[in-house]
Amino acid sequence: MTKKLYCCREGAYPDALSYGQTYTLLEEKSSLEGAFAKVQGDNGRARWFPRYCFSTEPAPSIKSIRFDEREIKDGVVEVDIHLSNGEWRYIFFCTPQALARSGEQLGQRKVTFHYGNQGMVVISEIDGDILREAVQHILSQGELFNSSRGFCPEMVGEGESPELSNQ
């Protein structure tokens, strides 16, 4: 029986692997360096890839991305991501300049810092297209769950519309 694998992390192979694509497992091996899967890549070459690039279950795709375009001017924006598996994720994007203007003060010093911020991504420039591209890139690298927080859409406050900006 042919075993199918799903790309869940492009890693250093964006010319050979595509996030979410299905590949036929040709061979598997394990060594001191780790586990590997041999598949035919998008470029037509059969080669060994790290096994962590693949899953036996389909990788979720982005169903929609929503954010308030009006928030972008301050260098800070909250982005809600709806995945094809029904899950919702949240990322807080901010620029270095916005970070410098905020944070918790350290004692009596004029030093501020940020900590405990799973879901915060620092980005040098923000606009709608950059946000969508950044979220897609984070997903394609298999880092969406490490770089975001889950949430229930029912918890969204009143007046916050899911139709603010969709992909």
CA dist 136 and 122 (Å) reads 15
Return the residue matching tokens 């010093």.
109
**Can you read off the two tokens belonging to residue 37?**
């899967």
Mind listing the pLDDT tens digit of every residue in the chain (167 residues)? 789 999 999 999 999 999 999 999 999 999 999 999 999 999 999 999 999 999 999 999 999 999 988 878 788 899 999 999 999 999 999 999 988 888 777 888 877 778 778 889 999 999 999 999 999 999 999 999 999 999 887 655 544 444 433 34
* Residue (of 110, 64, 68, 112) closest to 93 by Cα position: 68
76-97: buried (b, 16+ CB within 10 Å) or exposed (e) per residue?
bbebbbbbeeebbbebbbbbee
* Angle, CA 41 vertex, CA 39 and CA 44 arms, to 5°: 115
pTM for the whole structure: 0.81
